[in-house]
Amino acid sequence: MPAQKEVPDMTAPPTVSGAGWEHFPHDADVGVRGFGATPADAFAQAALALTAVVTRAPVEPLSPIEVRCRAPDLELLFVDWLNTIIYEMAVRNMLFARFDVKIEDTALQAVLWGEPVDVARHAPACEPKGATYTALRVARDGDCWSAACIVDV
């Protein structure tokens, strides 16, 4: 019987963080966590954390892209949202600086603000071709919401 993977410590201290998001260590993968006053805010911050896995360079919010996602619960909506971000990065060759997210029940609408990848300036740390997510968690943490998962890009 294969060894069971250890349950990640979702409260581990961050290794890299922004104003409302952080990365935390987990084996060879990266944990991403976003915080906000609402689930929509936490989703937006988690998307910034995911973008920061790809590049640490500053990104300008020059071009808007509208997206919609739908799923039967918040955790699956979170997965659909992160997959949408990866898709937009890979297909449109975009990096993002800001996410305006609205969630109503299990539907999400968002405007993604970013710019095309400039390889000389952004030098991606990894290619945003796809990701696998584990340990999904969308929950109220004290007076705010958090959206977290382990990302294998």
Q: What is the pLDDT of residue 13?
A: 54
Q: What is the pLDDT of residue 68?
A: 97
For residue 101, the one-letter residue type is V
Q: What is the pLDDT of residue 85?
A: 93
Question: CATH number for the 29-152 domain, one of 3.40.190.10, 3.40.50.300, 3.55.10.10, 3.40.50.1110?
Answer: 3.55.10.10
The β-bridge partners of 104 are 107
Positions in the chain whose pLDDT score sits under 70: 1-16, 120, 124, 126-129
Alpha-carbon gap, residue 78 to 31, rounded angstroms: 14
* pLDDT tens for each residue of 4-27: 434 445 555 556 677 899 988 777
For residue 151, the one-letter residue type is V
Strands (DSSP E) along the chain, which ranges? 16-17, 21-26, 29-36, 63-70, 94-104, 107-116, 132-141, 144-152
> Residues 30-50, buried b or exposed e (16+ Cβ, 10 A)?
bbbbbbbeebbbbbbbbbbbb
Q: What is the pLDDT of residue 141?
A: 85
Q: What is the pLDDT of residue 15?
A: 67
Query: pTM of this prediction?
Result: 0.84
Domain boundaries of the chain, sorted by first residue? 29-152
Q: What is the pLDDT of residue 11?
A: 54
Q: What is the pLDDT of residue 7?
A: 44
* pLDDT tens for each residue of 86-95: 999 888 888 8
Is residue 113 within 8 A of residue 101, CB to CB? The reply is no
